[in-house]
Amino acid sequence: MWPGSHSPATRQSGRTRVTPPIEPDPQPSPSGGEPRPHDPGRPASRYLAQGVTVRFGGLVALDDVSLAVEPGQVHGVIGPNGAGKTTLFNVCCGFVKPNAGSLTWDERELNNLHAHDLAGLGIARTLQGVGLFPGMSALENVMTGAGVRSTSGFVSAAFGLPRARRDEQALQERAMQTLSDLGAAHLAPRYPGMLPYPDQKKVALARALVSEPRLLLLDEPAAGLSEGEMDELGDLVQQLTSRMSVLIVEHHMDLVMRICDQITVLDFGQVIARGTPAEVRDDPKVIAAYLGAEVSAGEEIDTAVLESHGTTTKGA
């Protein structure tokens, strides 16, 4: 696993910052293979964060961070604990406003929008905590994620008019289909408190997917999952790219390396590397960020070594 919540190890912070320029990516296959051919059915919108800086008092949490989520791709954000991943995710979700920089989606400026505005633009998210409503069934929880697509107004819904009833029936059917697509249809009548954590995460993911987003933001979706469940999650995320782009913050090295087309690496709130999984895995700056020492170029480091050392470095 990538860095956990253990005590930070002492590491040098004086390395030269490297912020490679962002160029449109030709959709390489995961793990850095040949570029995959253009599919006209893939999403066409691009998510772009440019020069994002976030300060909390005197602390600079993000310093001139840029990344681009290309249409129909999975873009991973990784880094040692405390690198700024969670802050960047919260900026992308609209929870944190940057002090400088810009966010654009589908050529629309997002800086002044709030988190609840993003759903109407085709952006959905899951968070580290599942955030399910305990008094609602799994199906009802999923239905709350589709509210943005409802066509009936408040009056129709309040008085139970035919249009509202039809809307609710269609919404219920779509929510049930989304659960079914995740192999979780049997969870529909159950309440969150009755479900093990991995099943709660499935319901939370279904809630994000039911709105049929064009950009999905995932914050550590594999946390608490078994190896088999993680494999299923990876397969699902790759399938989703036929309909949407995905930005994922994740600690599990094997999952990130398998499913991501591009990876941005943060350390001390700065971008130290970006590229394909193969390029990032072999980058001495990335290895040094996790191991706390410079590593010779070309030296091969097993991902398990990074994971084991990562759990003794900094926090997210």
CB 238 within 8 A of CB 74: yes
Structural domain for 39, as ranges:
1-122+213-316
Last residue of a domain, one of 157, 184, 206: 206
For the domain that residue 93 is a member of, what is the CATH number?
3.40.50.300
Domain contains 131: no
Domain boundary among 173, 206, 239: 206
Q: What is the structure's pLDDT at 42?
A: 53
| Residue ranges in the chain modelled with pLDDT below 50 | 1-19, 26-29, 32-38, 40, 152-159, 294-298, 308-315
127 within a domain of the structure (yes/no): no
Give the pLDDT score at 162.
63
- Give yes or no: residues 106 and 226 share one domain: yes
For the stretch 215-231, pLDDT in tens is 999 999 998 889 999 99
Both 93 and 19 in a single domain?
A: yes
**Domains in the chain, number:** 2
What own/partner pairs with CB < 8 Å and gap ≥ 24 does 30-35 have?
30/74, 30/238, 30/257, 30/258, 30/259, 30/260, 30/261, 30/277, 31/257, 31/258, 31/276, 31/277, 31/278, 32/275, 32/276, 32/277, 32/278, 32/279
Give the pLDDT score at 142: 95
Q: Mark whether 162 and 29 lie in a shared domain.
A: no
Residues 94 and 238 in one domain: yes
At residue 37, the pLDDT reads 46
In a domain? residue 144: yes
Give the pLDDT of residue 9: 37
7 burial level (CB within 10 Å; 0-12, 13-18, 19+): exposed
User: Is 170 in a helix, a strand, or coil?
Assistant: helix
What pLDDT does 291 receive? 78
For residues 268 and 13, the answer to whether their CB atoms sit within 8 Å is yes
